[in-house]
Amino acid sequence: MASRVQQGGRPGGSRFSQFKLVLLGESAVGKSSLVLRFVKDQFDDYRESTIGAAFLTQTIALDETTTVKFEIWDTAGQERYKSLAPMYYRNANCAVVVYDISQASSLDKAKAWVKELQRQANENIIIALAGNKLDLVTENPDKRAIPTADAEQYAKEAGLLFFETSAKTSENVKELFTAIAKKLPLDQGGPRNIRSGPRQGVDLRPEASSTVGASGCNC
Amino acid sequence: MAAQNPSTPPSSELPTVPFTQEGTELAKDTPAAPSRETTPPPLPPRPKIYGLLGDRPPTSGGLRVPSSAKRPGLQSKATTALSLGELHAQTNRDGSPASCQTRARGRSRSGSEVDDSASIRSFAPTMQADGDIESLLGEVLGDSEIQTWKIMGPQFPGGQSQGASIFGNGPEFEEAFEHEFDELTELETDGSNEELVVKQWKAKLKHFLVLSSAGKPIYSRHGDDRLISNYIGIIQTIISFYQGANDSLKGFTAGNVRFAILSKGPLNLVAISKLDESDQQLRVQLESLYMQILSTLTLPSLERMFKARASTDLRRPLQGTEILLSALADGFTRGSPSTLLSALECLKLRKSHRQVINNTLLKTRSPNLLYGLIVASGKLVSVVRPKKHSLHPGDLHLIFNMLFEAGSVKAGGGENWIPLCLPGFNNTGYLYMYVSFLNVNNTSEQVRERPSTSSGEDEVAILLISANKDGFFELKKMRDELVEQLDKNGSLAFMTAAIKRGRPSCTDIIPGTTLRHFLYKSRGNVQFTMPSFDPYFSTPIARRRLLTLYTHLHTHLHTRPTHLKIHHTTSGNCLTLAWTTPLFDLYAVAPGTTSRAALAQAANRVVQWVRREEERVFIIGGAVF
C-alpha cells in the first residue's frame, strides 16, 4: 500500500491528480456516513459499524481544468483495529479526523489521532478536523458538547483545516473535501510523482518512503 | 507450481476435499490448553486427540446425546492438513468401517475429470447407496419411537405428537414468531414499564446469552443490561454451582423452554429455546457464536485478556460485532439448513461453466492468495485453495453471515479489507480478506466500476483471503483481472443466469411429485442441496415450521441410541422421511395424503437426481493450486 499519487497533464491542458485520504476517529462519530455522503450523496439513519476498513474513490472537479481523485480509506473506529491504522495512514496525503460534536470524549480521541498522525505519518500530510453531527445541534442546541470556538482554536494551534459537518444534511461535507483538495500539491506534475517504486513487504517505519515526501510537499 | 504461502506449513498430505467436516459435536470441556502465544505455529496440525462427549444433560433420561464420538472435539481446533484417515473418522458418525467400503467402492468408479475432481470422487462418491433402498420401507418407526424421543427434548405445551406440533402450532406460535425479531420497548429510566418489557422479553422464542465465567454479561440477543442482569445472575449461579462440583451443566428444561449451555474457557454461552431443538443442535449454534467471538479476537488474545483480569469486560473489545452475533442468532431462529447440516450450499452451475470459473481463478491467482471464493447470495460458486488446506464450513458460515446477513459491509458500497480470524483454519492469528461486491446485472463496464448498493439477491461477492496484511492492492489487482476475465469468457453471464434461475422446484426435479421439500447433504463433500422454498414455504413462518420439522428429523437420525438409517413420521398433514447412509443424509417432506411408498419412491428419485447432477449442485474439489 505504497503511495499512489498520480498527477499529470491531460490533453487540453487539464490537470488530474490522485491522492490517498484516510478517515480516523472514534467509533460512531460518523466517518462512514461522511464518506457515503461524499461519494454517493446518500445517508443511512441506521448504519452498522464498519468492519475492518472500506476503500472507496471519488473524483471532484476543483475548476474546469482541475480534477482530483481521492482514494479513501474509511477505517473502523473500534479500539481493536487501532494497531492496523498505520497501514492506512502510512502513505496518506491527507487525513480527515472526525469527532462527534455531541460527545466530548470524541474530541480527545481525535486529538490523539492528530498527534499520532503528526508523529508517525508523512510529514506533509494535510489533516482536517471534522466535527460531525451538526444537525443534532441545529435541532437541539443543548446537545452540543464541544463549542465550535474550542475546536477551532485547537485546530488552528495544531495547523489543521477545520469544519463542522453534517453527513445527514450534507452541510459542509463537500466543502471539507474541496478544501483539502485545494491544499494538496496539485501543481506538482511530472513523472517523478507517478507511482512510487515497486511496493513490496511491510515497512513500518514512520517515514515510509521518500516518494511520499516528494509528492506531498510544497503546497 | 504455486508460490508457497509463507504461512502454510509444509505438509505431505493431500486431502482433496474442499471442505472439512465441521465438528457438530462439542467435546467435553478440555482443560485449558497452555497458552499458544509463546510458540504460535502458523497452522497447527489437527490434534489427534478426539474429545469424547461428556456429561449428558439431565433431561436426556439416560439417552446418550449425539453420536460421532470420534470427531475432533472443537471447531476451534485447526482443521488444516487434514489427513484422509481423519476425514473418514469424522464423516462416519459411528466410526464403523464404512469408510473403507466407501473408498473401495469409489475407486471402482471412473473419475476422469480434468481437475481435482477425479481424486475427489474416488473418496467422496455421493451415491452408491443402493443397498439401503430396500430397507427404506422396512424400518418404519411407530409411535413408540416418538414416545422415546419425547423424553429427550422439550415439548410445546399440550404434548401432541411431533408431526402435529410442527404444522399445527397454534396462533400463539405464529404470533410469537411474528414479533420474534422486533426490538424490545425501551426500558424507562424509572422502571415504570418494566412489566411490559419483561413480558416482551419472555415472549421471545429464542435467547442467546454470552457471559464471562466471572458472570459479566458479554452479549444478549434481546434486552439490555438493566433488563437481563438479574437473569444473568441466576444463570451464572446455576452454571457455577455445577462447575464447582466439577460436573459442568450442559442443559436443562424449565417448563416448555430448553436451556443449553456451552462452556468455553472463560466464556459461558447459553441458548434458551422454545423451538423444540435438541441440545446438540443448540450447541452447534452456540459453537458458531463462540467462533464469531474468536474470529474477532483470536483465542490467544481472548485467553490473555481473561488471564490478566478475570473480570474483563469483553463487550469493549467486541464492540461493533454485536450485529454479527445477532445476525447469526437470528439466522438460527429463522432456521438455517446450513447450520443444521453443518454443510454449505453451492450455486447450481453446469460443470463446464464452473470449470471455466475455476480455471480463471487459477489463472489470475496472485502470489499471496490463500483462499479465493466467489459467492452468490450465500451460495458458493467457486473456490480456489492451496492443495493442503481445505476450508472449514464453520468459517465460511461466519464469512457468509458477515457479508450477506449483517449487511454492513455491503452497505458501505466500496471494497473492503477485513482482518479476521478463521477459527476453523487457525484460531491463533488473523487473515485479511478482500471483499468486493459485483452487481452482475449491470453492464460489464459498470461491473468494473464501483458496485452500487442494491438488492442482495443478484449480487456476487469476490472474496480473496491472504495472510499478508498489506496485500490489499495486490488482491484488488487480482480481482480486477478476475472480473475482466470472467466477463470476457462469459462466466459472469452464466452466474447471473444461474442466480436468476434460483433453486429448482421439487416438480422440476421430479415431474408430478407430491414431494414438497427436501434437504440432501453429501457427507463426503460437506455440502448440501435443496429445492426452492416456493411455493409452499415462501413465508418466514412456513420456513421456520419446515426447519423445525427438519430439526426433529435430524434429531431422530443423529441421536443415540436410536441410531437410525431410515425414519418415517406420519401425521395428519405431513409425511416425512429421514434417511442416512455413509454417503448422504436425506430429509424429505410430503403432504399427509401421500402414501409412504410414494414418498420412498420420491426419495429415490431425489437420490438419482443428485447422482445425475452431482457436479452441478456440488463443488467437487474446486480449483486447487
Q: What is the pLDDT of residues B256-280, one digit of tens each?
A: 899 999 999 999 999 999 988 899 9
What's the pLDDT at B571? 72
What's the pLDDT at B28? 39
Which candidate, B54, B47, B49, places its Cα nearest to that of B26? B54
User: Cβ contact (<8 Å) for A55 and B319?
Assistant: no
ipTM of the modeled complex: 0.82
pLDDT averaged over 10-residue windows placed end to end, chain B, 625 residues? 42 51 42 41 40 35 36 36 31 37 38 40 39 35 39 36 45 82 82 84 92 92 86 91 87 92 94 91 95 95 93 90 93 91 93 95 95 90 91 91 82 86 94 89 42 53 94 95 95 91 92 93 94 91 92 86 76 86 94 89 95 94 85
User: Cβ contact (<8 Å) for A51 and B408?
Assistant: yes
Question: With contacts defined as CB-CB under 8 Å, which chain B residues touch A79?
Answer: 316-317, 319
Q: Which of A48, A54, A84 sits opposite B414 (nearest CB)?
A: A54
pLDDT digits 0-9 by tens, B532-550: 998 899 999 999 999 999 9
Residue A52 Cα, gap to closest chain B Cα (Å): 4
User: Cβ contact (<8 Å) for A49 and B408?
Assistant: yes
What's the pLDDT at B621? 80
Which one-letter DSSP state was computed for residue B346? B
Write out chain A's pLDDT in tens, 219 residues.
444 555 555 556 678 899 999 999 999 999 999 999 999 999 988 888 898 999 999 999 998 889 999 999 999 999 888 888 999 999 999 999 999 999 999 999 999 999 999 999 998 999 999 999 999 999 899 999 999 999 999 999 999 999 999 999 999 999 999 999 999 987 653 333 434 434 444 444 444 343 433 343 444
Which amino acid would we find at residue B404? F
Q: Which residues on neighbouring strands pair with residue B385, listed in sequence order?
A: B624
Q: What are phi and psi of B583, to 5 degrees?
A: -100, -35
**Contact (CB, 8 A) for B487 and B443:** no
Handedness of CA B386, B407, A73, B219 (dihedral sign): negative
Residue by residue, DSSP assigns A118-156 as HHHS-TT-EEEEEEE-HHHHHH-GGG--S-HHHHHHHHH
Which amino acid would we find at residue B292? Q
- Please give the helix or strand (H or E) that residue B436 lies within, else none: strand B431-439
Give per-residue burial for B253-277: e unless 16+ CB within 10 Å, then b.
Answer: eeeebbbbbbbbbbbbbbbbbbbbb
Give per-residue burial for B583-613: e unless 16+ CB within 10 Å, then b.
Answer: bbbbbbbbeeebeeeebbbbbbbbbebbeeb
Cβ of residue A44 closer than 8 Å to a chain B Cβ? yes
What's the pLDDT at B122? 35
Cβ of residue A41 closer than 8 Å to a chain B Cβ? no
User: Cβ contact (<8 Å) for B416 and A78?
Assistant: no
Cβ of residue A81 closer than 8 Å to a chain B Cβ? yes
Question: With contacts defined as CB-CB under 8 Å, which chain B residues touch A37?
Answer: none
Cα angle for residues B137, B139, B141 (degrees, 5° grid):
115
Taking the C-alpha atoms of residue A59 and residue A55, their distance in angstroms, rounded to an integer, is 14
Q: Which residues on neighbouring strands pair with residue B438, listed in sequence order?
A: B460
Residue that has been written with the C-alpha cell 439477491 in this structure: B457
Q: Which of A48, A54, A201 sits opposite B407 (nearest CB)?
A: A48
User: Cβ contact (<8 Å) for B411 and A48?
Assistant: yes
User: In this complex, how many residue pairs, one in chain A and one in chain B, have their CB atoms less than 8 Å apart?
Assistant: 89
Full-prediction pTM beyond 0.90?
Answer: no
Residue A149 Cα, gap to closest chain B Cα (Å): 32
SS3 B335: coil
Taking the C-alpha atoms of residue B30 and residue B483, their distance in angstroms, rounded to an integer, is 46
Which one-letter DSSP state was computed for residue B19? B
Residue B262 Cα, gap to closest chain A Cα (Å): 26
What's the pLDDT at A8? 57
Residue that has been written with the C-alpha cell 468492519 in this structure: A51
Cβ of residue B85 closer than 8 Å to a chain A Cβ? no
- Locate B86 and state its grid cell: 481423519
SS3 A15: strand
Residue A28 Cα, gap to closest chain B Cα (Å): 9
Residue A80 Cα, gap to closest chain B Cα (Å): 6
What's the pLDDT at B12? 41
**Contact (CB, 8 A) for B270 and B232:** no
- Locate B198 and state its grid cell: 419483561
- Please give the helix or strand (H or E) that residue A214 lies within, else none: helix A210-216
Question: With contacts defined as CB-CB under 8 Å, which chain A residues touch B476?
Answer: 55
User: Cβ contact (<8 Å) for A40 and B409?
Assistant: no
Question: With contacts defined as CB-CB under 8 Å, which chain A residues touch B407?
Answer: 48
What's the pLDDT at B492? 92
Q: What are phi and psi of A6, to 5 degrees?
A: -125, 130
Q: Which of B323, B408, B414 sits opposite A55 (nearest CB)?
A: B414
